[in-house]
Amino acid sequence: MTEKEGKLYIDKRLKTMLIVFGCIFVNFLGRHIADVYSIPLWLDCFGTVFAAYVLGPVSGAIVGATGNLIYSFWNPPSLAYGLTSIFIGVSVGLAARRKYFDSFFGATSLAGGVTIGSVLISTVLNIAFYDGQTGNVWGDGVKEYLEVSNVSSFIACATGELYIDFLDKLATVLSLFYLIKIVRYIKKARSEKKPGKKRFLINMLLIPILAGLIFFPKEVRADDSNEGAYIQRVYDGENGLPCGHANDIAQTNDGILWVGSYAGLYRYNGSTFTFMEDFDAVKNVNCLYVDEEGRLWIGTNDSGVVIAIEDKQANILNTNKGLPSDSVRCIVQSSDGEYYVGTSDKMAVVKLKDGINLSKDIPEIRYAQSISADREGRVATVTAEGKLYVLKNEEIIYDIPELSGESKYSACAFDENGVLYAGTTEGRLAVFTVTDKEAELVKNIECRNVSR
């Protein structure tokens, strides 16, 4: 090897290393932006597809897997998602060799294939590590909506992942496709004057306009019908409630209404909604609960339980402090002062003594989605599987037999007299009288035009 050849070899290796490190940084930066602003995209694979196109499938796989390795220092299961990144890098690298980026049809076909593969791999990993949660509030919202609509768990998980992956992979692959076209055009324009320059520039201007129509569409709704004389005003994204969707509502003793949504927590004083940006641990809200002392308990989708006192964040309980899962589904205080917290994993019993502390967990009850307490220390809860349990003194005292056929319990509530009402997926209310020994079914109430 001559001195000139050796220098070229070193320059080539240096350029390759710079591209690899630059692509890893782009992936990491994109994911950070997506997490901070809670947008319905991952933004963590442009560096992977760029490296795969420029350097080949092996380099693309290395860039993608390295990003997951970095994430795993904060979240160990992220390492397993390197399989998805490797799949993307290899797929794009092989497709580039077969000239898929030479046509719009080829690029969109590649985006579709990458999306399907990513969804299948990620869904399996989501179920294995995160109880089906996607890790994105938008995808989790789709998943949970389908689950409460009695869609099978796997289909719901896959659809939630698809909701994020489709836009993400399509935007990523098409961004690279148009970047390639621009670079090729510039190179060609340098060597010859191109008569179609004006037309090309018009096409390039149309790209961001079309992207805006796809990713930020104007909401189109049917005319509102008269829902009844009791509805005075509906708040949504157009007239005061920016998030446009409420997961739960609670009222504290001072009369303030609190609205929890996937966009965060909002405070309503009777005239205006205020986004609680000072609650840094609350990025999205699944449930809200106000205890006997007027404290607001905020169940988040990925940060555990946050307790607010007088409009200020006071305490946090998460997996670092023993909570079974950071995804909290329901909360209630029993008459003896203990707090029962349903998570996407086990149920937890929490006590407020020298701070907020986990008393114990109840492994038999997983993914509690509805919970209520009576005045005798008993707590009833319904799980996502449709099972109904009654607890007291941190123990299950009995579980109520499952319903026959396909009907399942979907929600429960005690009235002021201690009578337990349990809603079913077939539109019935099962009414029970409850003691410490048994729950006796008194009657079933048919609810017309109610599917759940």
More confident residue, 340 or 16: 340
Number of neighbours of residue 40 by Cβ within 10 angstroms? 17
Q: DSSP assignment, residue 361?
A: E
- Quote the tokens at residue 173: 């692959």
Q: What is the mean pLDDT of the chain?
A: 85
Phi-psi region of 341 (alpha: psi -120 to 50; beta: other; left: phi over 0): beta
Among candidate residues 55, 181, 64, the one with its CA nearest the CA of residue 114: 64
Give the percent of the chain with pLDDT over 70.
85
Place of tokens 């449709």: 386
Which residues are bridge partners to 413 per DSSP?
Answer: 421
Q: Does position 394 have pLDDT exceeding 50, yes or no?
A: yes
3-state SS string for 226-266: CCCCCCCCCCCCCCCCCCCCCCEEEECCCCCEEEEECCEEE
Q: At what angle do helices 104-130 and 82-97 cross, to 10 degrees?
A: 170
| Superfamily (CATH H level) for 246-446 | YVTN repeat-like/Quinoprotein amine dehydrogenase (2.130.10.10)
For residue 433, CA distances in Å to 272, 302, 403 come to 42, 36, 17
Residue 390 near residue 439, CB atoms below 8 Å: yes
Of 50-59, 157-166, 230-239, where does mean pLDDT reach its minimum?
Answer: 230-239
Position 191 confidence tier, pLDDT thresholds 50, 70, 90: low
Among candidate residues 329, 263, 257, the one with its CA nearest the CA of residue 296: 257
Of 79-83, 404-408, 441-445, where does mean pLDDT reach its minimum?
Answer: 404-408
Give the mean pLDDT of 226-240.
62
Residue 443 near residue 433, CB atoms below 8 Å: no
Question: Whole-structure pTM over 0.95, yes or no?
Answer: no
Q: What is the pLDDT of residues 110-123, one digit of tens each?
A: 999 999 999 999 99
Position 65 confidence tier, pLDDT thresholds 50, 70, 90: very high
Position 168 confidence tier, pLDDT thresholds 50, 70, 90: very high
Separation of alpha carbons 120 and 49, rounded Å: 19
Q: Does position 70 have pLDDT exceeding 90, yes or no?
A: no
Outline where DSSP puts E strands in 262-394. Answer: 264-268, 273-275, 285-290, 296-300, 305-309, 312-317, 328-333, 339-343, 346-352, 356-366, 368-373, 378-383, 388-392
Q: What is the pLDDT of residues 13-36, one digit of tens each?
A: 888 889 999 999 999 899 888 877
Q: Does position 52 have pLDDT exceeding 70, yes or no?
A: yes
Q: DSSP assignment, residue 69?
A: H
**Domain layout of the chain by residue ranges:** 3-211, 246-446
For the domain with range 3-211, which CATH number is right: 3.30.70, 1.10.1760, 2.60.120, 1.10.3470? 1.10.1760
